[in-house]
């Protein structure tokens, strides 16, 4: 029996040794994931030269530990659409980048720091506007980019993930801003089908020298009723255009690429009026258009069926 136990002890030892060798001594599979949350997504500043502002950001790491590098780079936009042109990797020091610094003791701009999994951190971004800066608009992205994962000899693509927040700054000596705008597009078909959801497109161009917000309403009127839609106060950057949106867009679940999708049963003549107020000014831009809503598709189908029926009946009679 003693001999029997010794054999089992040897087998036990061998199995334990092999098990450990197989499991604990393997090269670690690298499958790091990335999930970051950043808030606020937007900071708007109208400030005098020679003043400073500190903005607190909260970054949360919802996935694996990461090394992140905070960075501020100028924002570039497509002037026709207002869409952001993404950041390149060759952004050099340009207007305004030297204005930014972090007030955190142990974290500096353009220097990597470690953020553990599940950890949240407050970053305090200080913006110092120099005394001699030209009064104008300056737009930036505050970015937090991950470092490249460790490389090895495998054939692989290594990914850096970056999340950002936007900073819009208007530098003004007196606080009196030149805000002007014009409606450059107001588009809806004249004839719409009663059973369709017609799309209204309104494009606004900021012709002033400071970013602005459009507010106001879009009214849909017919002899029997009137419906109002509120305009969503979105920023339009200087010398650029953007489609305005209504608060209805907050409920949209599919891309519409329009100002408003009218989801109402419409019949007969309708008048659509946009009344756009430029925030912080007395400017009100108004534009109207008439549309005729008829069930023309249904009328066409019924006419076609009737035509075929009459044609067949007349042939039968002859």
Partner 1 sequence: MHNLRKASKFRLFFFISFLVLEFGPPAGGWNFEFRPSTARAIDMSSEYYKIKDTGLSIIKDQDITKDINITGIMGENYLTQFTSFGFSIKSGLSYLKGTDPFTFSLAAMKIEFPQTKNTGPVTKSLQLIIKNGQVPGYQIFTGQLSPFTTNFTLNLPGQPPFTPPDISKGNKPYTLLSSNLHNITKQTILNFSLTLPKGKEKISYQNQISIVALPKY
CA-CA distances (angstroms) from residue 130 to 13, 108, 167?
72, 20, 17
For residue 211, give the nearest of 185, 180, 244, 183 by alpha carbon: 180
Among 13, 95, 110, 148, binds partner 1 (CB under 8 A): 148
Q: Does 28 bind partner 1 (CB under 8 A)?
A: yes
Query: Can you tell me which residue has the tokens 């300056």?
Result: 138
Closer to partner 1 at the Cβ: 15 or 299? 15
Taking alpha carbons only, the member of 249, 230, 238, 231 closest to residue 205 is 238
Name residues contacting partner 1, limited to 296-315 (CB under 8 A): none
Place of tokens 């720091």: 113
Closest CA to 69 of 84, 91, 40: 91
Using rule CB under 8 A, residue 23 touches partner 1: yes
Site string (167-196) toward partner 1, x via CB under 8 A: -x---x-xxxx-------------------
29 lies in the site for partner 1, by CB under 8 A:
yes
Pairing type for strands 235-236 and 76-77 reads: unpaired
Instruction: Pick the stretch among 30-38, 130-138, 216-224, 310-318 that binds partner 1 (CB under 8 A).
Output: 30-38
- Is 5 an interacting residue with respect to partner 1 (CB under 8 A)? yes
Long-range contacts of 104-108 (CB under 8 A, 24+ apart): 107/70, 108/70
Encoded one letter per residue, x for contact with partner 1 by CB under 8 A and - for no contact, window 65-104 reads ------------------xxxxxxxx--------------
Binding flags for partner 1, 255-274, as an x/- string (CB under 8 A)? xxx-----------------
Give the range of 112-120, 181-189, 287-295, 301-309 binding partner 1 by CB under 8 A.
Answer: 112-120
């Amino acid at each position: 029996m003693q001999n029997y136990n010794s054999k089992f002890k040897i087998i036990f030892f061998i199995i334990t040794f092999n098990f450990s060798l197989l499991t604990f001594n393997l090269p670690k599979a690298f499958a790091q994931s990335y999930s970051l949350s950043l808030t606020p997504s937007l900071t708007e500043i109208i400030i005098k030269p020679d003043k400073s502002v500190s903005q607190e950001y909260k970054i949360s790491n919802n996935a694996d530990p990461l090394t992140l590098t905070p960075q501020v780079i100028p924002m570039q936009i497509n002037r026709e659409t207002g869409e952001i042109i993404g950041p390149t990797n060759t952004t050099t020091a340009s207007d305004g980048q030297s204005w930014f610094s972090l007030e955190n003791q142990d974290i500096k701009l353009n220097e990597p720091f470690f953020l553990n999994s599940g950890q949240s951190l407050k970053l305090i971004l200080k913006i110092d506007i120099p005394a001699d800066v030209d009064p104008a608009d300056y737009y930036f992205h505050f970015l937090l980019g991950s470092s490249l994962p460790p490389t090895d000899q495998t054939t692989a693509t290594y990914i850096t993930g970056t999340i950002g927040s936007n900073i819009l700054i208007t530098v003004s000596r007196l606080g009196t801003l030149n805000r002007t705008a014009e409606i450059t597009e107001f588009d809806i078909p004249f004839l719409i089908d009663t059973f369709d959801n017609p799309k209204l497109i309104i494009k606004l161009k900021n012709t002033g020298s400071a970013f602005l917000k459009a507010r106001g309403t879009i009214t849909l009127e017919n002899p029997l009723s009137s419906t109002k839609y509120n305009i969503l106060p979105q920023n339009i950057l200087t010398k650029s255009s953007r489609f305005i949106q209504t608060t209805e867009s907050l409920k949209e679940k599919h891309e519409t690429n329009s100002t408003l999708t009218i989801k109402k049963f419409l019949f007969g003549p309708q008048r659509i009026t946009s009344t756009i107020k430029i925030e912080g000014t007395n400017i009100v831009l108004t534009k109207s258009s008439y549309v005729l809503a008829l069930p023309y598709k249904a009328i066409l189908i019924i006419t076609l069926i009737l035509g075929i029926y009459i044609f067949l009946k007349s042939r039968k009679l002859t």
